[in-house]
Amino acid sequence: MPIKSLTIAGAGTLGSQIAFQTAFCGIPVNIWNPHPERATKRLNALKPLYKRDLHASDEQIQAAMDNIKMITNDWDKPFNTDYIIEAVPENMAVKEKFYTELMKHVSPQTIIASNSSTFLPSQLVKFVAHPERFLHMHFANHIWIFNAAEIVGTPATKPEVIAEVVDFAKRIKMLPIKLNKENPGYIMNALSIPYLNAALWLWASGVADYQTIDKDWMKASGAPMGPFMSLDAIGLRTAYAISSSQAAKNPAAKIIAGKLKTMIDAGHTGTLAGEGFYKYPHPAYEDPNFLKP
């Protein structure tokens, strides 16, 4: 049966984007989030981006918003749904607590996916009651443009569940990327995280400032964006979570995490906050002379 309703648990950067994109494509969405004002702010910030990038009309934007229901601290109604995508913070204790409570309320017929960037399906499947209906569905930031959805289950995941999620991905205008087996970072992050970590270490260790690194990468590779532009778009909380998870075994990651925490504590968390490495809405890299000698 096709997925007809979605609940997003957590409305951070990607959770809010998944919710809006799904609603924009005509599928009803519940957002379960303890801070509705933050979720609403993120959804409202997406409206001008959809108008700019997809030429969406006011009517389409409003229809998407009408398809979204915000629910907080209510474990019954939002989880009576066909499909749940968990997008709570990247912390194992937080995720375990969420799944433990979720299992008391969710239907055995519901498909459950995690959008986790750092944990594997095999690490989270132990928290669910029906492993045959559990998988991961991972999205890139700015999903309405970079519309790939990485999909992978565990050996226990039923093939028909994978097929239903592949179909759902197509219906919300994603390109389904079906992995044969789990891998840290899926495909996308397995390629991008070493690149971003290398840039962060060049900055954190004082080799060069962030603008110099961006300029060098863009000029030398022809890339349209530098790593610190990408980090601002991703959100520095995500970069901090990844660095923090590696800090115990990696001295460089500990240094990077410390410097990112200083920025986050100052409110410089990325594009949506108005400042990350760059200041927005008119970052320095938009200057026509940014890459000139």
187-217 residue pLDDT tens? 999 999 899 999 999 999 999 999 999 999 9
pLDDT digits over 133-160, tens only? 999 999 998 899 999 999 999 999 999 9
What length is written for the chain?
Answer: 293
For residue 242, the model assigns a pLDDT of 84
Tell which residue, 232, 237, 190, 193, has the closest CA to residue 211. 232
For residue 141, the model assigns a pLDDT of 85
For residue 196, the model assigns a pLDDT of 96
For residue 76, the model assigns a pLDDT of 62
Tell which residue, 148, 142, 175, has the closest CA to residue 50. 142
For residue 24, the model assigns a pLDDT of 98
Amino acid at the residue 171: R
For residue 132, the model assigns a pLDDT of 98
Any idea of the CA torsion for 283, 231, 32, 17, to the nearest 10 degrees? 70
For residue 78, the model assigns a pLDDT of 60
For residue 252, the model assigns a pLDDT of 96
* Residues 89/117, Cβ–Cβ less than 8 Å: no
How far apart (Å, rounded) are the C-alpha atoms in residues 178 and 47? 30
* Residues 153/68, Cβ–Cβ less than 8 Å: no
pTM (2 d.p.):
0.84
For residue 15, the model assigns a pLDDT of 95
For residue 191, the model assigns a pLDDT of 93
Average pLDDT across each block of 10 residues of the chain; the chain has 293 residues. List them in order. Answer: 92 94 97 88 94 97 96 71 93 94 92 94 97 97 94 98 98 98 94 94 98 98 96 91 89 97 97 94 96 94
